[in-house]
Amino acid sequence: MKKTAVAPSNIAFTKYWGKKDEKLRIPENGSISMNLSNLLTTTTVEFLDEYKKDEIHLPGEIDRVIKHLDRIRKIAGIHQKAKVVSENNFPTGTGLSSSASGFAALTVAASFAASLQLSEKELSILARQGSGSACRSIPNGFVEWFDGNTSETSYAIQIFKEDYYDIADVVVVASSQKKDVSTSVGQKTAESSPFMAVRLSRMKKKNEDLKKLIQKRDFESFGELVEQEALELHAIMLTQKPPLIYFKPETIVVIKAVEKWRIQGIPVYWTLNTGQDVHLICQGKDKEKVATLARTLSVTKDVIINLPSSGAHLVKEHLF
């Protein structure tokens, strides 16, 4: 059976960094994110007796994809090999993470292709095992990923529908350099930061605060908290052993520009993961203005405007 799914990438307002369980990808703390309307992966999966081995056509780690197919085959009790074709609607190698959208699309397409009848929760748990943050790309809109203590309790749910809060994520692609250290490797030593225990002791309250600010649509306080959280993430990474300096010269240029624009009266905040792309968070009405400003920066290679979007879902048109 052949199935195709589309899944969005997501931007974390509170971050996933450090794991309670390395293999099961159970995070140290819960996190809150928004699915992104314009950073999408489309994946078609077909299981057939004719395939002698898994035939994987996508940019990324083939081994990790086959492992994920094995998980789904095991649950479904099938043994057919699969053909997988996947496409991003954004350029690869720009530092834009496609693992969240990629594993969410793969999970939905493959589980339906294997005739599994999975709930949203089960799909989220499954996606998480492929790539942690992929579990947040399963539900619609604004999402919370519970850290949990077991595989069954670590999954994401919708906390607000995509039309609840009219904000935008204007992604500034600022450089095409590759990361020095992969996110998976960097996460493994999160505990080596002397500040990690303090961070973790405060995450529950931070997530509660953030949900309240989304609910109240208090944009200024929301933006400040999002920025503080990104800075805290980088403070942890800078103090790990060995230190991780994911800041690039280009990201500092963008961050400093945002500070300036805000002083000039435009309510815009930033967040940043381990890549060089900076996410500018603004109100929906300001998205074009912010995008125009972002394009004026010398370091900007591309600007992608995102609104809150639905999560992973099946579509009718296949890639092969």
Summarize as ranges the residues that interact with a second copy (CB under 8 A). 180, 194-195, 197-199, 202, 227-228, 231-232, 234-236, 238-239, 241, 243, 245, 247-250, 252-253, 255-256, 259
Instruction: Identify the three-state secondary structure at position 215.
Output: helix
Closest CA to 138 of 113, 102, 170: 102
Residue 200 CB, nearest approach to a second copy (Å): 11
- Name the residue nearer to a second copy (CB basis): 98 or 273: 273
Minimal distance, residue 219 CB to a second copy, in Å? 17
How wide is the angle at C-alpha 263 spanned by C-alphas 262 and 265, nearest 5°? 65
Q: CA 251, CA 257: separation in Å to the nearest integer?
A: 10
**What is the rounded distance in angstroms from the CA atom of residue 301 to the CA atom of residue 250?**
10
**DSSP string spanning 72-101?**
HHHHHT---EEEEEEEESS-TTSS---HHH
- Quote the least distance from Cβ 249 to a second copy, whole Å: 4
Residue 310 to residue 164: CA distance in whole angstroms: 12
Structure tokens at 244: 């991780």
Judged by beta carbon, residue 142 or residue 269, the one nearer a second copy is 269
Entry field: residues in the chain: 320
Ramachandran sector of residue 188 (left: φ over 0; alpha: ψ -120 to 50; beta: rest): alpha
Q: How far is the CB of 203 from a second copy (least distance, A)?
A: 11
Task: Provide the minimum distance between the beta carbon of 247 and a second copy in the complex, in angstroms, as a whole number.
Answer: 6
Please identify, using beta-carbon distances, which residue of 93 and 194 lies nearer to a second copy. Answer: 194
Q: How far is the CB of 204 from a second copy (least distance, A)?
A: 14
Residue 110 backbone dihedrals phi, psi, to 5 degrees: -70, -40
Least distance from C-beta 31 to a second copy, angstroms?
18
Cα end-to-end span (Å), the chain: 12
Considering beta carbons, is residue 153 or 221 the nearer one to a second copy?
A: 221
**In the complex, minimum distance from the CB of residue 317 to a second copy, in angstroms, rounded to a whole number:** 44
CB nearer a second copy, residue 11 or residue 237 = 237
Nearer to a second copy, 8 or 95 (CB): 95
3-40 burial by CB neighbour count: b if 16+ within 10 A, else e? bbbbbbbbbbbbbbbbbeeeeebbbbbbbbbbbbbbbb
Smallest distance from the beta carbon of 237 to a second copy, in angstroms?
A: 9
CA angle 43, 45, 46 (to 5 degrees): 160
Q: Helix count (H) and strand count (E) of the chain?
A: 8, 13
| Phi, psi of 168, rounded to the nearest 5 degrees | -135, 155
Task: Considering the complex, state which of residue 78 and residue 181 has its C-beta at the smaller distance from a second copy.
Answer: 181
- In the complex with a second copy, which residue's Cβ is closer, 60 or 186? 186
Tell me which residue has tokens 């995102």: 306
Q: Would you say 116 or 231 has its CB closer to a second copy?
A: 231
